[in-house]
C-alpha cells in the first residue's frame, strides 16, 4: 500500500479534527481548529522543512551515480637529466596518452538503482516523519484542550469558595459560627484564586508548545494570535475490536520504512555483486623520440587481479545488512503487536472510567453538593461537611478531565500505530 503525503493529511484531519475535536456551533475568530493546526504544521514544521534539503542532496547523488568514469589525459617524460648520453634532453622520450576506464558487470546501472532506492527510502522516511509530527501535534492539542477544562474547573473552584465566604459571613454575623470559620473560608478562596492563576499560566505554556509545532515562538498562527482550541474533550472515542485493529497494523508506516530500507539494501547487494567483475582500463597515445625525431603510437590496457576474491567481503557486508532489515522488521512487528494490545486494553479501561465519572459519579456528587450547601445555609451542616463535599465535587471533575485526556491520547497512539482512524461515540 502506498502511503502518501495526502493520506497523512487525510488521516489526521478526518480522525482528529472531525472526530473528537469536531466543530460545535459557529467558529469564533481567535479559536484554533485542529484542521488549521494541521495545515500550519505541515507547512512550517522545522523538522519537515529539513527534508527538502535532504531530497535535493539525494537527487544530486542520483545524478552523480549516472556519470560514467571520466577519461584521463597523461603526459610522461623519460630519459632526461641523467648521465652520459642521457644527460640533458637530447634522448628524452615524451608520451601523450588518453585513458578510459570501461566499467564491466553493469556497475553503472547498479549504482543508479542504489541511489534511486535511497531516494525512495528518504521519501518513506519523510512520510513517517510527517505522521510523527501530526501525532505530536495531536498530543499537544489534547494538552491544550485539557488545560482549558482545568481552567474552567479552577474558576468553578473560585466560585464555590466565594459562595462559601459569603455564606460564612452570614453565619458569623448571625452568631451561628465562629469567626475562625470565616477566616478559613477566605484562605480557601485565596488558594482557589492562586490555582486559577496557575491554570492560566499552564494554558499559555500549552499554547506556545503547540505553536512550536509550526515554527512559531509565540501563540500565533497565520500571523494572528490564537486563543482557545475548539475541542470537545469529553466526546469519547470507540476503542474498536482488537482483532480488526491487529489486521490493520500492517498499514503502520514504520513497516513501510522497513520495506523501503529492504529495497535499498537489495540494491546495495546488487551493487556489491558487480565488484566481482573488475573494470578494464584502456589507454592510447603518441610517443616522440627526441634523439631520432621519430613518433610512434602506444597502447595499453590494465585490469586488477583477484577482483572476485576482493569483492567477497563487500558482498558479505551487504548481505548481512539486508538480513538485518528482516530481523529488525520481525522484532518491530512483535513489539508493535504487544504495544497495540496494551494501548487497546488501557483505552477500554479509560473510556469506561471517563463515562462512569461523567454519567454516574459526577451527577451524584453535584447533587450531594447542592444538598450540603442547602443544609449549611440553614445551619444543619458545619463548615467541614461543606468543604468536604466541595472537594469531592472538584476531585471528580479533575479525574474526569484526566481520564478524558488520557483516552484521547491513547486513541492518538493507536491511530499512529495502525495508520487508520477510530470512530467516535457519543459521550
Query: What's the mean pLDDT when you consider all of the chain?
Result: 83
The answer to the question of residue 399 being in a domain is: yes
Q: Has residue 116 got a pLDDT over 90?
A: no
**Residue 185 grid cell:** 473560608
- Antiparallel, parallel or unpaired: β 72-78 and 93-102: antiparallel
Inform me whether the pLDDT recorded for 419 exceeds 80. Answer: no
For residue range 137-153, what is the model confidence (pLDDT) as tens digits? 999 999 999 999 999 99
Count structural domains, the chain.
1
Q: What is the pLDDT of residue 425?
A: 45
Please give the helix or strand (H or E) that residue 100 lies within, else none. Answer: strand 93-102
pLDDT at 365 over 90: yes
Contact, 258 vs 329, CB < 8 A?
Answer: yes
Instruction: Indicate which CATH number applies to the domain containing 17.
Output: 1.20.1600.10
- Find which of 149-158, 406-415, 418-427 is predicted with most confidence, using mean pLDDT: 149-158
427 falls within a domain = no
Quote the pTM value: 0.78
- For residues 69 and 65, what is the distance between their CA atoms, to the nearest angstrom? 10
Backbone angles phi, psi at 83, to 5 degrees: -120, 160
pLDDT of 24 higher than 80: no
284-310 average pLDDT score: 81
Strands (E), 117-227: 220-221, 224-225
DSSP 8-state symbol, 237:
B
Burial class (CB in 10 A: 0-12, 13-18, 19+), 383: buried
Domain that holds residue 130: 5-418
Share above pLDDT 70 across residues of the chain, in percent, rounded to a whole number: 89
Decide if pLDDT at 308 tops 80. no
Q: Which of 188, 191, 199 is nearest to 387 (CA)?
A: 188
Question: Does 404 fall in a domain?
Answer: yes
Residue 150, pLDDT score: 96
- What confidence score (pLDDT) does residue 272 get? 81
Residue-wise pLDDT tens digits, 210-255: 999 999 988 989 888 888 888 889 988 888 888 888 888 877 777 7
- pLDDT for 119 equals 86
Mean pLDDT of 337-342: 90
Asked whether 237 and 325 are in contact (CB, 8 A), the reply is: no
Residue whose cell numbers read 469564533: 28
Q: Distance of alpha carbon 57 from its chain centroid, rounded? A: 22
Q: For the chain, give the number of residues.
A: 427
> Of 45-54, 97-106, 154-163, which has the strongest mean pLDDT?
154-163
Instruction: With respect to residue 423, please indicate whether it lies within any of the assigned structural domains.
Output: no
- What's the pLDDT at 85? 64
Look at residue 373 and tell me if it is in a domain.
Answer: yes
Q: What is the mean pLDDT of residues 350-359?
A: 95
pLDDT at 427 over 60: no
Mean pLDDT of 204-214: 94
> Locate cell 492563576: which residue?
197
Cα separation, 235 vs 233, whole angstroms:
6
Answer whether residue 275 is part of any domain: yes
In this predicted structure, the answer to whether residue 86 has a pLDDT above a threshold of 70 is no
In this prediction, what percent of the chain has a pLDDT beyond 90? 30
Residue 25 has pLDDT above 60, yes or no: no
Segment 348-352 long-range contacts (CB within 8 Å, at least 24 positions apart): 348/239, 350/403, 350/406, 350/407, 350/410, 351/236, 351/237, 351/239, 351/407
Q: Which helix (H) or strand (E) holds 314?
A: helix 307-356
- pLDDT for position 23: 41
Which residues on neighbouring strands pair with residue 75, listed in sequence order? 96
With respect to residue 101, please indicate whether it lies within any of the assigned structural domains.
yes
Is residue 72 a part of any domain in this protein? yes
Which positions ≥6 away from 161 have C-beta within 8 Å? 185, 188, 189, 191, 192, 390
Amino acid at each position: 500500500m502506498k502511503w502518501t503525503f495526502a493520506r497523512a493529511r487525510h488521516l489526521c484531519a478526518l480522525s482528529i479534527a472531525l472526530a473528537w475535536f469536531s466543530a460545535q456551533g459557529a467558529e469564533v475568530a481567535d479559536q484554533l481548529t485542529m484542521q488549521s493546526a494541521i495545515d500550519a504544521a505541515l507547512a512550517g514544521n522545522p523538522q519537515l522543512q529539513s527534508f527538502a534539503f535532504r531530497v535535493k542532496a539525494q537527487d544530486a547523488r542520483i545524478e552523480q551515480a549516472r556519470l560514467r568514469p571520466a577519461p584521463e589525459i597523461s603526459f610522461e617524460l623519460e630519459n632526461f637529466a641523467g648521465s652520459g648520453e642521457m644527460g640533458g634532453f637530447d634522448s628524452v622520450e615524451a608520451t601523450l596518452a588518453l585513458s578510459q576506464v570501461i566499467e564491466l558487470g553493469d556497475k553503472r546501472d547498479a549504482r543508479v538503482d542504489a541511489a534511486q532506492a535511497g531516494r525512495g527510502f528518504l521519501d518513506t522516511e519523510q512520510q513517517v516523519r510527517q505522521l510523527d509530527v501530526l501525532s505530536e501535534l495531536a498530543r499537544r492539542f489534547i494538552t491544550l484542550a485539557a488545560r482549558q477544562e482545568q481552567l474552567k474547573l479552577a474558576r468553578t473552584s473560585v466560585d464555590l469558595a466565594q459562595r462559601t465566604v459569603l455564606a460564612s459571613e452570614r453565619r458569623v454575623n448571625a452568631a451561628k459560627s465562629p469567626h475562625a470559620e470565616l477566616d478559613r473560608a477566605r484562605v480557601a478562596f485565596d488558594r482557589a484564586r492562586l490555582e486559577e492563576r496557575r491554570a492560566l499560566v499552564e494554558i499559555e505554556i500549552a499554547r506556545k508548545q503547540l505553536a512550536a509545532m509550526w515554527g512559531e515562538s509565540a501563540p500565533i498562527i497565520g500571523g494572528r494570535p490564537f486563543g482557545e482550541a475548539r475541542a470537545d474533550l469529553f466526546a469519547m472515542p470507540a476503542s474498536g475490536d482488537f482483532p480488526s485493529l491487529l489486521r490493520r497494523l500492517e498499514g503502520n508506516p514504520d513497516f513501510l520504512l522497513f520495506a523501503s530500507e529492504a529495497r535499498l539494501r537489495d540494491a546495495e547487494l546488487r551493487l556489491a555483486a558487480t565488484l566481482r567483475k573488475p573494470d578494464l582500463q584502456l589507454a592510447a597515445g603518441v610517443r616522440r623520440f627526441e634523439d631520432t625525431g621519430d613518433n610512434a603510437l602506444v597502447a595499453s590496457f590494465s585490469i586488477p587481479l583477484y577482483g572476485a576474491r576482493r569483492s567477497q567481503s563487500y558482498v558479505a557486508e551487504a548481505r548481512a545488512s539486508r538480513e538485518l532489515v528482516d530481523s529488525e522488521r520481525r522484532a518491530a512487528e512483535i513489539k508493535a503487536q504487544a504495544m497495540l494490545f496494551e494501548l487497546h486494553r488501557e483505552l477500554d479501561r479509560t473510556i469506561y472510567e471517563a463515562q462512569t465519572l461523567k454519567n454516574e459519579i459526577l451527577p451524584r456528587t453535584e447533587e450531594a453538593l447542592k444538598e450540603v450547601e442547602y443544609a449549611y445555609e440553614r445551619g444543619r451542616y458545619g463548615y467541614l461537611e461543606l468543604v468536604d463535599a466541595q472537594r469531592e465535587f472538584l476531585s471528580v471533575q479533575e479525574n474526569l478531565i484526566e481520564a478524558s485526556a488520557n483516552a484521547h491520547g491513547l486513541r492518538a497512539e493507536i491511530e499512529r500505530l495502525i495508520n487508520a482512524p477510530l470512530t467516535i461515540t457519543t459521550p
